[in-house]
């Protein structure tokens, strides 16, 4: 073997010796996502600022719809109807939370809330939603199945809380039902606490009712906004 060949062989050996440790130290591959929907409305900045919904996030939100319907699993087997409901909910919450941010910043008229008011809403609404879905561990497992991390779950819960706060502040009170309202719901509604004493389920019943009211208000808001809203599904 001549000098050039020996030098080339040495380089190959050196490269092979160092490739293993470098490969082991490399970070895991990035998860590729894609936009599956685009929407815009005056509340979100109009045509100049379209919003996009990622495939993994929408799939996760479809899993959450399933979690609200079933007591087992992490939302596997979601169907087209779950995806449509998840997309509608995402759009409504994005619009409402945008309005909430504008009210908080003072860019639209109205009494600006305190930081404590917003913080309490985020904690209370987030707790009610997570409880409705079977607990944080179950929600996080559904997120992990779509390769989302806990910070993305927190962002979604914050968006929902801001939407609820804005509805409560400007549209209709939904966050603090009175004792009389709770007792009426306890007597007449098809809730999951039937057969148990009112006093034993008052707290869970209140959180259940808050989520029920939030979902109804989001749906009503979205229906009223259809004329000024454009949603496009991206194939």
pLDDT at 193: 96
Contacts of 140 (CB under 8 A, 6+ apart): 150, 153
Closest CA relative to residue 157, chosen from 181, 194, 131, 179: 131
Which CATH number goes with the domain that contains 125?
A: 1.10.4030
DSSP string, the chain: --HHHHHHHHHHHHHHHHHHHHHHHSPPPPPP--EEEEEE-GGGTGGGS-EEEEHHHHHHHHHHHHHHH-SSSSSTT--HHHHHHHHHHHHHHHHHHHHHHHHHHTSSSSPPPPHHHHHHHHHHHHHHHHHHTT-HHHHHHHHHHTT--HHHHHHHHHHHHHHHHHIIIII---SS--HHHHHHHHHHS--TTTTS-HHHHHHHHHHHHHHHHHHHHHHHHHHHHGGG-EEEE--
Residue 105: inside a domain = yes
Residue 202: inside a domain = yes
Closest CA relative to residue 182, chosen from 205, 159, 160: 205
Residue 16: inside a domain = no
pLDDT at 13: 37
Q: In total, how many domains does the chain have? A: 1
pLDDT at 228: 96
Q: Give the CA angle between residues 172, 227, 84 to the nearest 5°.
A: 80
Residue 149: inside a domain = yes
Residue 15: inside a domain = no
* Pairing status of strand 35-40 against strand 51-54: antiparallel
CA 222 to chain centre: 17
Residue 24: inside a domain = no
* Pairing status of strand 51-54 against strand 230-233: unpaired
Spatial separation of the C-alpha atoms in residues 112 and 140, rounded to whole Å: 33
pLDDT at 30: 62
Partners of 53 in beta bridges: 37
Residue 71: inside a domain = yes
Residue 79: inside a domain = yes
pLDDT in tens, the chain (235 residues): 444 444 444 433 344 444 444 445 676 656 578 999 999 999 999 999 999 999 999 999 999 999 999 999 999 999 999 999 999 999 999 999 999 999 998 887 777 888 899 999 999 999 999 999 999 999 999 999 999 999 999 999 999 999 999 999 999 999 999 999 999 999 999 999 999 999 999 999 999 999 999 999 999 999 999 999 999 999 8
Question: Which domain does 64 fall in, by range?
Answer: 33-233
């Amino acid at each position: 073997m001549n000098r050039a060949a020996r030098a080339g062989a040495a380089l190959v050996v050196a490269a092979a010796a160092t490739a293993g440790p470098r490969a082991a130290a490399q970070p895991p591959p990035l998860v590729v996502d894609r936009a599956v929907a685009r929407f815009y409305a005056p509340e979100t900045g109009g045509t100049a600022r379209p919003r996009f919904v990622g495939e993994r996030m929408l799939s996760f939100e479809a899993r959450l719809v399933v979690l609200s319907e079933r007591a087992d699993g992490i939302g596997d087997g979601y169907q087209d109807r779950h995806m449509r409901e998840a997309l509608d909910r995402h759009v409504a919450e994005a619009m409402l939370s945008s309005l909430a941010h504008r009210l908080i910043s003072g860019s639209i008229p109205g009494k600006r809330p305190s930081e404590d008011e917003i913080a309490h809403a985020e904690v209370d609404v987030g707790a009610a939603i997570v409880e409705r879905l079977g607990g944080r561990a179950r929600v996080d497992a559904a997120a992990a199945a779509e390769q989302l991390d806990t910070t993305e779950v927190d962002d979604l819960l914050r968006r929902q809380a801001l939407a609820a706060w804005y509805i409560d502040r400007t549209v209709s009170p939904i966050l603090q039902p009175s004792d009389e309202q709770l007792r009426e719901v306890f007597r007449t509604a098809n809730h999951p606490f039937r057969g148990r004493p009112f006093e034993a389920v008052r707290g869970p019943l209140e959180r259940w009712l808050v989520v029920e009211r939030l979902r109804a208000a989001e749906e009503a808001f979205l229906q009223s906004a259809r004329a000024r809203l454009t949603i496009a599904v991206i194939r």
